[in-house]
Amino acid sequence: MARLVLKFGGTSVADVERIRNVARHVKREYDAGNDVAVVVSAMAGTTNQLVEWTREASALHDAREYDTVVAAGEQVTIGLLSITLQAMGVPARSWLGWQIPIRTDDSHGAARIGEIETDMLNTRFAERQVAVIAGFQGLGPDNRITTLGRGGSDTSAVAVAAAVKADRCDIYTDVDGVFTTDPRMVTRAQRLPRIAYEEMLEMASLGAKVLQTRSVEMAMVHGVPLCVRSSFDDPDTLKPFGQEGNETPGTLVCDEDEIVEQQIVSGIAFARDEAKITLHRVPDKPGIAASVFGPLANAGINVDMIVQNVSADGSTTDMTFTVPTIDYDRAMSVIRDAEDEIHYADLTGSTEVVKVSVIGVGMRSHAGVAAKMFEALAGRGINIQAITTSEIKISILIDAAYTELAVRTLHSLYGLDETT
Ligand code: ADP
Ligand code: ASP
Ligand code: MG
């Protein structure tokens, strides 16, 4: 028999009725004789509320206490799911992060999972008990509760799957799988039956929040087969793992060579959480980039895209870069504080920008993807403010007002629209 980790996100456990539906998915796999560990998120909206309360309590707060508060949502859902499973005759018990324990580093609010002890879980599997594990949380080196960053239950699930050597990790969510772009924005987006780990990693890190980036990274490193699928499908009409008819529910995130028909572009992602800062007429001389980006790095601010213009007279240049929107105000004040070293003539910025990215491993072997992209956007009157590329992606920064237009245009351009 197989060993499975099933993860259910916030919308899938939003109320007791939905939790009952989740329990039926779990029961289907359990009744087929599989070892099952379930990882759950907090009920939809709960974590947002908890985060909001910590802010209301104090804008500046102790990150360890933030974690104590925001980890609370998952405690409720593991208990409720365990009760529901028991009522259906499935032996189950709830596990908080510290009870396993899922050990993490001490980066409160964005902790990384280190080691997961599996002895107790293995004993319970042998006793045919389902382990219902709280996602998003762990135990820090100082014995304090940690959390893994928003969307972190995906990472908990993959980490548990890697630790218990699961045959598959199923991420049940509120859409049918990974789509060519967010199906809530583009109705003609198509479900991808398969996507390569590397592409998924780019999609996630460039804004497709269907999986937390770190969960994909971890699945890739540990070779965990990852399946993204809908929790809203009728649990009783589906086949359990390993039985005929269960081969490809949703999207399988797998190695590139397991994908037969590889497209040049697999998907389009967008991220609204970047802000743009421009330094006008800074001296065009060695050391200037260091004087700008050094202080930002010291302040722990990540810079993403960078554009430096060549100056007309060779003496000054404009420099544009992006930072996470949450760091925007801080970044502006760091730059103002460094004005004496940088000597810029003017400083401007905007949070009304969006990064749109085109992703596909097929780009490695195909030229012209970028040229086509720029031409199509120009045709729509969309101005590109910054560009970055890697082997398998091209990202552009544009005015946020054009987000939908740009995503839809590119989605059609690369032949991703569903044809009905
Ligand atoms: P969960 O609560 O189950 O973790 P999330 O809200 O974190 O669910 O992620 C699922 C959402 O991700 C979907 O509702 C969808 O709007 C969004 N999403 C963004 N990009 C994509 C994509 N390319 N494919 C599928 N879903 C996407
Ligand atoms: N409940 C957490 C959040 O909302 C973790 C998760 O849902 O994955 O971010
Ligand atoms: Mg999520």
Region 223-227: mean pLDDT is 96
The reply to whether domains 3-256 and 262-420 share a CATH topology is: no
Q: How far is the CA of 40 from the centre of ligand 3 (A)?
A: 10
Give the number of whichever ligand sits closest to the CA of residue 8: 1
With 90 as the cut, is the pLDDT of residue 243 above it?
no
150 lines ligand 2 (CB under 6 A): yes
Region 374-390: mean pLDDT is 96
Beta-bridge mates of residue 348: 278
pLDDT at 261: 78
With 70 as the cut, is the pLDDT of residue 99 above it?
yes
Residues 20-58: tens digit of each pLDDT:
999 999 999 999 999 999 999 999 999 999 999 999 999
CATH architecture of 3-256: 3-Layer(aba) Sandwich (3.40)
Ligand 2 atom nearest residue 154's Cα: 8
Tell me which H or E stretch contains 46: helix 46-57
Asked if 160 contacts 113 with a C-beta cutoff of 8 angstroms, the reply is no
Q: Could you give the CA distance from residue 326 to residue 359 in angstroms, rounded to a whole number?
A: 25
Per-residue pLDDT band for 393 (boundaries 50, 70, 90) equals: very high
Q: How far is the CA of 209 from the centre of ligand 1 (A)?
A: 5
Of 173, 264, 267, nearest to 211 (Cα)? Answer: 173
- Crossing angle of the two packed helices 16-31 and 72-87, in degrees rounded to 10: 60
Tell me which H or E stretch contains 253: strand 251-254
Q: How far is the CA of 418 from the centre of ligand 2 (A)?
A: 30
E strands of 309-385, at which residues? 316-324, 346-350, 353-359
Of 292, 277, 301, nearest to 397 (Cα)? Answer: 277
Q: How far is the CA of 84 from the centre of ligand 2 (A)?
A: 21
pLDDT at 310: 74
Number of CB atoms found within 10 A of residue 59's CB: 7
Q: Which residues contact 144 (CB under 8 A, 6 or more apart)?
A: 64, 67, 68, 106, 108
Region 169-183: mean pLDDT is 98
136 lines ligand 2 (CB under 6 A): yes
Beta-bridge mates of residue 146: 138
pLDDT at 285: 87
The DSSP-derived string for 214-251 is HHHHHHHHHT--EEEEESSS-GGGSPPTTSTT-S-SSE
Ligand 1 atom nearest residue 11's Cα: 2
Number of CB atoms found within 10 A of residue 391's CB: 9
E strands of 118-189, at which residues? 130-134, 137-139, 145-147, 168-173
- Do the bridges between strand 194-196 and strand 137-139 make them parallel or antiparallel, or are there none, so unpaired? unpaired
What order of strands is seen across the sheet that includes strand 102-104? 113-116, 102-104, 137-139, 145-147
Asked if 105 contacts 111 with a C-beta cutoff of 8 angstroms, the reply is yes
Helix then strand then coil, in percent of the chain rounded to 5, is 40, 25, 35
135 lines ligand 2 (CB under 6 A): yes
Residues 65-77: tens digit of each pLDDT:
999 999 999 999 9
Region 148-154: mean pLDDT is 98
181 lines ligand 1 (CB under 6 A): yes
In a mutational test of the pocket of ligand 2, which residue from 67, 145, 153 has the highest number of ligand atoms less than 8 Å from its CB? 153
Region 92-120: mean pLDDT is 97
Q: Could you give the CA distance from residue 240 to residue 245 in angstroms, rounded to a whole number?
A: 9
pLDDT at 249: 83
pLDDT at 248: 65
Mean pLDDT, the chain, whole residue set: 95
Domain boundaries, the chain: 3-256, 262-420
With 70 as the cut, is the pLDDT of residue 127 above it?
yes
Q: Could you give the CA distance from residue 376 to residue 420 in angstroms, rounded to a whole number?
A: 24
Region 275-287: mean pLDDT is 93
Q: Could you give the CA distance from residue 208 to residue 214 in angstroms, rounded to a whole number?
A: 13
Q: Could you give the CA distance from residue 7 to residue 148 in angstroms, rounded to a whole number?
A: 15
Core vs surface per residue 392-402: b (16+ CB within 10 A) or e:
bbbbbbbbeeb
Ligand 1 atom nearest residue 185's Cα: 16
CATH architecture of 262-420: 2-Layer Sandwich (3.30)
> pTM for the full model?
0.94
8-state DSSP, 179: B
Q: How far is the CA of 52 from the centre of ligand 3 (A)?
A: 18
At 410, phi and psi to the nearest 5?
-70, -35
Q: How far is the CA of 228 from the centre of ligand 2 (A)?
A: 16
